[in-house]
């Protein structure tokens, strides 16, 4: 029987967020969500803001709020390098709500100096964090 367990490391520039044996991971690629199982063909993808879904080797499911970065695998190990990654219990819902309101305000005002793309990403990041924090 082929081994169905492999290792996932989720890291940011500041910390290791997750490093454990897993059965699967589903991540938010820039062209849509994708899943990885043990033995996956070598693969590299850029990531967008979203929820990374992990099934640990014991069957436990956990979700992380991730923002940008890259994921790579050789079929035996996955490394996800994110700009930001948070577990639901680490999310400050009040702070995420304020960030959402600021981004919505910037998008509504649309002044000449507003960076629309940056405001949209900030809004998506805040919505993702709020969604994940409310699901715990």
pLDDT one-digit tens code per residue, 86-99: 999 999 999 999 99
Task: Over range 66-82, report the average pLDDT.
Answer: 95
CA distance 69 to 74: 17
pTM, two decimal places = 0.88
**Would the pLDDT of 5 be above 50?**
yes
| β-strand partners of 69 | 47, 82
- Rounded to the nearest 10°, the torsion over CA 25, 79, 124, 35 is -30
Place of tokens 């589903």: 26
Six-digit token pair at 31?
A: 């062209």
Residue 27's closest CA among 81, 76, 74?
A: 81
State the span(s) of the chain assigned CATH 1.20.5.440: 91-134
Q: What percent of the chain has pLDDT over 90?
A: 77
State the span(s) of the chain assigned CATH 2.60.15.10: 6-88
Q: Which CATH class is domain 91-134?
A: mainly alpha
Could you confirm whether domain 6-88 is CATH 2.60.15.10?
yes
Q: What is the pLDDT of residue 111?
A: 76
């Amino acid at each position: 029987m082929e081994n169905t367990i492999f290792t996932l490391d989720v890291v940011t520039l500041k910390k290791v967020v997750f490093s454990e044996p897993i059965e699967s991971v589903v991540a938010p690629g820039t062209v849509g969500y994708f899943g990885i199982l043990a033995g996956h063909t070598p693969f590299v993808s850029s990531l967008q803001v979203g929820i990374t879904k992990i099934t640990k080797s014991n069957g436990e499911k956990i979700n992380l709020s991730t923002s940008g970065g890259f994921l790579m695998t050789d079929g035996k190990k996955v490394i996800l390098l994110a700009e930001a990654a948070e577990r639901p219990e680490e999310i400050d819902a009040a702070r995420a709500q304020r960030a959402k309101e600021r981004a919505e305000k910037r998008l509504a005002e649309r002044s000449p100096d507003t960076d629309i793309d940056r405001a949209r990403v900030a809004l998506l990041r805040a919505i993702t964090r709020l969604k994940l924090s409310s699901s715990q």
